[in-house]
Amino acid sequence: MSDIALPTVAWKILSVADWKLLVAEGRYEGSPVDLSDGYIHLSAADQLEATASKHYAGQSDLMLVEVDLNAIADDVVWEPSRGGALFPHIYGVMPLSATRNPRPLSVTADGQMILSND
């Protein structure tokens, strides 16, 4: 794996309520699934659509947030998941300072992502 250049940016899909909590507290400890698994799930660019379709289909009260992995490099581990693909996981909290470009997101019932510019 050392010969592979891993992305320096990943994405997190959050509920609007979790995004507001992150902004208010300056940190995010994770969703119930994240807390249960022991790390915060993120997706690389090429994984985002499948993640949205699999875990968020039919939901509209969401935010898509870009995460600067360099800002939290000591807490990020790339681990195999779906089909052996490496996914970025945060072992720790996600600070607000590591997030950029939050955008409202809806995912249709058939899994299509709809981003808003609001």
d(CA 40, CA 88): 9
In this prediction, residue 11 carries a pLDDT of 97
Confidence of residue 3 (pLDDT cuts 50, 70, 90): low
Residue-wise pLDDT tens digits, 78-118: 999 868 889 999 999 999 999 999 999 999 999 999 988 75
Tell me the backbone φ, ψ of residue 35, rounded to 5 degrees: -60, -40
Residue-wise pLDDT tens digits, 39-82: 999 999 999 999 999 999 999 999 999 999 999 999 999 999 86
Q: Is the pTM of the predicted complex or chain greater than 0.95?
A: no
Nearest partner of 6 among 68, 86, 95, judged by Cα: 86
Tell me: pLDDT of 27 over 80: yes
| DSSP labels, 28-65 | E---HHHHHHTSEE-B-GGGHHHHHHHHHTT--SEEEE
